[in-house]
With several copies, the nearest count.
Chain A
Amino acid sequence: MKKIEAVIRHFKLEDIKNALMELGVQGMTISEVRGFGRQKGHTEMYRGTEYAVDFVPKVKLEIVVSNAQLASVIDTIMRTAQTGQIGDGKIFVIDLANTIRIRTGETGEDAI
């Protein structure tokens, strides 16, 4: 089992979700994050003071998948999230020791 963490652009979320559902992904968890990277932020101005906002709003996806699914899920995210412009985001893959479904107590891949 692997946990995929992907940082993406807001307006891509809908597409990615749909693409993954078609792929048969059963679930995911998303959260609001702010990212800092090659993509520059913007400057804001309030009365006198102008200042730079380096952090750009992004969405973080967390998807737990079986090793089998891993490649195809990553591939799908890549394709749908890509715009080719700086700031498209990253995908991180983490090994998972275990997964448990609270409702049933199932563990491992059955719990995904």
Chain B
Amino acid sequence: MPLVRVTGHSVLAVALILLSSKTVRAEEKTPADSPSQSAATTSATATSATTASTPTGTTVKDAKLAGDNAWMLTSAALVLMMTAPGLALFYGGLVRKKNVLGVMMQCIFLMGMNTVIWGLWGYSLAFGGDPKSADFNPWIGNGQYLLMHNVEPHWNEATHKADIPMADDIPRLTHMLFQGMFFIITPALICGAFAERMKFSTMIAFTILWGTLVYCPLAHWVWGGGILQFGSTFAIGHSPTSPGGALDFAGGTVVHISSGISALICALLIGRRLGYGSEPMPPHNLTYTMIGAAMLWVGWFGFNAGSQLKSDSIASSAMAATHFAAAAGAVAWAVAEWITRGKPSALGGCSGAVAGLVCITPASGFVNPMAAILMGIAGGLACCFACTSIKSKFRYDDSLDAFGVHGVGGTVGALLTGVFATRAVSDVNGGAPLGLIEGGRIFTGQAIATAITWLFAGIVTFVLLKVLDATMGLRVTQQQEIQGLDLSQHGEEGYIFI
């Protein structure tokens, strides 16, 4: 089985695979293959579905695919934009001048490395396997999509035309791309916790392991038909009478809770920055942070509304909820500061918007605008409290508040989804009510999924860091930390204004 070799000398292996692709495909034909196959057939059927075709032979399916694909490709672009420039600016502005490139480079490098990993094995581990098939594994994906087999189009000698694997309404490649952007930004969020002191090499090792061992399983559980997917037959708590699992429209658990709690563990294990508490460490460029926040807001439209995986009215609902929550969060945090400290800060407004966005993420496709406003307020206030009181109380150095915003906001969001979700927006439970307010009973599921994510992400991260600390070391030397990551890790300076 070539895949073992792959992880080792991937490039070489990749080349081999490429040359011997046909054979490999042959070997790999497994029942798990069927979905893309059937999809391929579907697409074939479609093209022959003349009932709906105009004189020139365009089918309704092609037409719909054009629209859905347009939105999904746009969404993928928006989500990539969230990591950089978005997050790169948001985080980059918050650190001291001497570390700005360090933070930005983490974003750019992850954009590169995690994309490659996603293509080689990540997507397969997360989304491989068909819940309907006999040998489906609810804990982790399978090998069907390794190296993008059954994702990329492949030439069918029989029909003498290409088979194009589909994922429902969109090409599977589009689905892979869109989901891949999440695989980039999630670990990038964690960087906020160990900013200004993490060794670049260790950060890379950590991300490879974390992405493979934390993100991929979680994504499989929640979106791949696994143990947390709402309504999946494999879902915890699933029974004839109850759907089981939890609602997570765009990644409250998979993205925000997982990164947030992992961030907390990082902050605790790597320890405080040199001079933390004594020296002032103000953001060196709040204008970057504000620009970054605005880009995150815009990009989040792709993140949430794109998670509908097509361009229909639910996508519109998700975008509306996203926008209202961000807005309410921004106002809430700024006003909270105004009341408690006498001044609304620009950073507060931006942080509030992000907090609102984090909070609405799991609920975005399930709630109406007014609920979104309330969730935005809740997220804004909860995170504001976490970043101020809690953090200063326990004196851990979550440098850029990755936990304070994503961990706390994600948790609040996952739980409130159980309160505000309504079948009016997405009727995912056969007409049965969803959230508490409309008399639904999904709340317990939300709480369970949240707890599981906390535990799973927290424990695995803890173990990974302990191992890496013993082997590579987490932190740069004191010397290097004083000099700054830009010079010590990358041999560059951010600004040379002379």
Contact = CB atoms under 8 A, between A and B. Distances in A.
Interface of A: 10-11, 14, 32, 42-51, 53
Nearest to B483: A42
A49 B392 contact: yes
Interface residues of B, number: 28
A50 B282 CA distance: 10
A14 B279 contact: yes
A43 B343 CA distance: 11
B388 interface: yes
A11 B391 CA distance: 24
Contact of A47 (B275, B388, B498): B388
Given A11-B279, A11-B482, A42-B487, A48 B347 contact: no
A10 B345 CA distance: 25
B369 interface: no
Interface in B146-163: none
Given A14-B278, A14-B280, A51-B280, A45 B491 contact: yes
A105 B283 CA distance: 36
B400 to A, nearest CB: 9
Contacts of A46: 282-283, 345, 347, 492
A47 B491 contact: no
Contacts of B315: none
Contacts of A50: 341
B371 to A, nearest CB: 27
Interface string B387-398: 111011000000
Given A14-B278, A14-B280, A32-B498, A47 B387 contact: yes
B345 A45 contact: yes
Given A43-B491, A47-B351, 19 more contacts: A10-B498, A11-B482, A14-B278, A14-B279, A32-B498, A42-B487, A44-B487, A44-B491, A44-B492, A45-B337, A45-B343, A45-B345, A45-B492, A46-B282, A46-B283, A46-B347, A47-B347, A48-B389, A51-B280
B401 interface: yes
5 contacts: A44-B282, A44-B493, A45-B343, A45-B345, A47-B404
A97 B487 CA distance: 37
A54 to B, nearest CB: 10
Contact of A48 (B279, B391, B493, B498): B391
A47 B351 CA distance: 8
Contact of B387 (A10, A11, A42, A48): A48
- Prevailing SS type, chain A contact patch: strand
B401 A47 contact: yes
Nearest to B491: A45
Contacts of A32: 498
Contacts of B404: 47
A29 to B, nearest CB: 14
Interface string B80-122: 0000000000000000000000000000000000000000000
A40 to B, nearest CB: 12
A45 B391 CA distance: 15
Contacts of A42: 483, 487, 491
A48 B275 contact: no
A49 B388 CA distance: 7
B228 to A, nearest CB: 32
Contacts of B388: 47-48
B275 A11 contact: yes
Interface string B477-498: 0000011000100011100001
Nearest to B347: A46
A90 to B, nearest CB: 20
A50 to B, nearest CB: 7
Contacts of B493: 44
A50 B277 CA distance: 11
Contacts of B492: 44-46
In the complex, the 10 A-B pairs of residues with the closest C-beta atoms, listed nearest first = A48-B388, A47-B387, A48-B392, A51-B280, A45-B491, A48-B391, A48-B387, A44-B491, A14-B279, A46-B282
A45 B487 CA distance: 10
Nearest to B289: A46
A36 to B, nearest CB: 14
B344 to A, nearest CB: 10
B356 to A, nearest CB: 16
Nearest to A47: B387
A14 B279 CA distance: 7
A47 to B, nearest CB: 5
A32 B341 CA distance: 31
Contacts of A43: 491
Nearest to A54: B280
Nearest to A48: B388
Interface string B278-307: 111111000000000000000000000000
Contact of A45 (B341, B401, B483): B341
